[in-house]
Every structure is written in structure tokens, then in C-alpha cells.
Chains A and B, each alone.
Chain A
Amino acid sequence: DSGVTQTPKHLITATGQRVTLRCSPRSGDLSVYWYQQSLDQGLQFLIQYYNGEERAKGNILERFSAQQFPDLHSELNLSSLELGDSALYFCASSVDQGTEAFFGQGTRLTVV
């Protein structure tokens, strides 16, 4: 158990809908990262937060948004969902911006 908690574990929804994925980082970790992993694909970096502030953006679509709250948990919002958004979404956290990141178990999103 990495100490990073993601909910829900599985999510099935229809095209056009909106979902929110939640991540609780390890106790004491200030950095949170979101990644998307499609079937047989690598981890695609979406966005990174540090102590509540956005620090880096990767290949995140405009339909997607995220935030990190004062208690350091983070949410990833996906809207106007398309079939191609079906993937594993991982959250990771690290103490600061230089150390190793620890991953949650992921949320498997299926868009039908």
C-alpha cells in the first residue's frame, strides 16, 4: 500500500457526461500528479500541483480540469466525455518536487 488513495476504483459512464476523480496523497506529501494510461500505452502526464498551486501542465485536454484543495487532496474533473477517454487514471504524490512519487491504485474509467 503506497498510502495514496484514489476513489472510485471503477467508473462506467456514458459519452457526454462529466465525472470527478478524487485523490488523497500520502500524509505529508505536498505534490500531486495526475497521469492517464490508455490500454497498452505509457503514462501520459496531465497536470501537477504543489501545495495547492498548479505547477506544470502536460497533455491535458481543455475538457479536463483539476485542483488541489487546502487539505492537499486533489480532484480531476473530466467533462464532455468521449469513448477515447476510457483509460486508467493514476494519481501520485511526493514529499516535494524532487523526490520519488508514489502512485495510487488508479481509477479505471470506461466511457460507453
Chain B
Amino acid sequence: GQNIDQPTEMTATEGAIVQINCTYQTSGFNGLFWYQQHAGEAPTFLSYNVLDGLEEKGRFSSFLSRSKGYSYLLLKELQMKDSASYLCAVRSGGATNKLIFGTGTLLAVQP
């Protein structure tokens, strides 16, 4: 089966750094993705990891450890507009390469 776990909610302060964790158990693995979703809007792609290590993209970084089934998204210099849900998604690999999403972490950025 497939299981992707993220904290339900987090709160952080404007200008600070926040780390959102994701753990996964899937029957196969072919990459991990992070998306941002504002309420009622479409998810937008943030980052992609397929090899172990850190990928940096501006204020956002994502880390992957395949042996531990673990990833995190790091958001630096938080802005109010970063208040949103952050979705961790895993491609299962194999013939189907399903893209399965976790339930998301709702981040509230406070002044």
C-alpha cells in the first residue's frame, strides 16, 4: 500500500524559517514532489527530489532521504503570502508511476 504522512497544521512567524516534514511508505519510489496550494486554488509545483540530498530553489529547499522514507520542505524568510497548504506527493514508480498526495500541512504565517 501507500502511506504519506505530514503534520496537519503548523504556525510560524513572518521572517522566520519553517520545516515541514513528510514521511512515506510506498510500494515503489520514483521521485518526491512538493506543492503549494492556497485555499480553493490549484496546487502549484515547488520542488522535486529523486536522489538523496538537498535541492535549493530561492527561499524554498527540499531534502530527501530514500533509505529513511523521509523528506522535508524548508521555507526561509517567511512572508504572509506563504500561508497555504503544502502537499507532499510521491511517484510510486513501476509501470503506473502513480502520483499520490499526502493530506497536506496547513501553514499559518503570523506577523
Q: What is A's interface to B at a CB cutoff of 8 Å?
A: 2, 33, 35, 41-43, 45, 48, 55-56, 58, 88, 90, 92, 97-106
Contacts and interface: CB of A to CB of B under 8 A. Distances in A.
Contacts of A56: 96-98
Contacts of A100: 33, 45, 48
Question: Number of contact residues on B: which range applies?
Answer: 20 to 34
A45 B103 contact: no
Residue of B35, B41, B96, B104 contacting most chain A CB atoms (<10 Å): B96
B99 A33 contact: yes
A2 B42 contact: yes
B70 interface: no
28 contacts: A41-B103, A42-B87, A42-B101, A42-B102, A42-B104, A43-B43, A43-B87, A45-B98, A48-B96, A48-B98, A48-B99, A55-B95, A55-B97, A56-B97, A58-B98, A58-B100, A92-B99, A98-B91, A98-B97, A99-B48, A100-B33, A100-B45, A101-B33, A103-B35, A103-B42, A103-B43, A105-B41, A106-B42
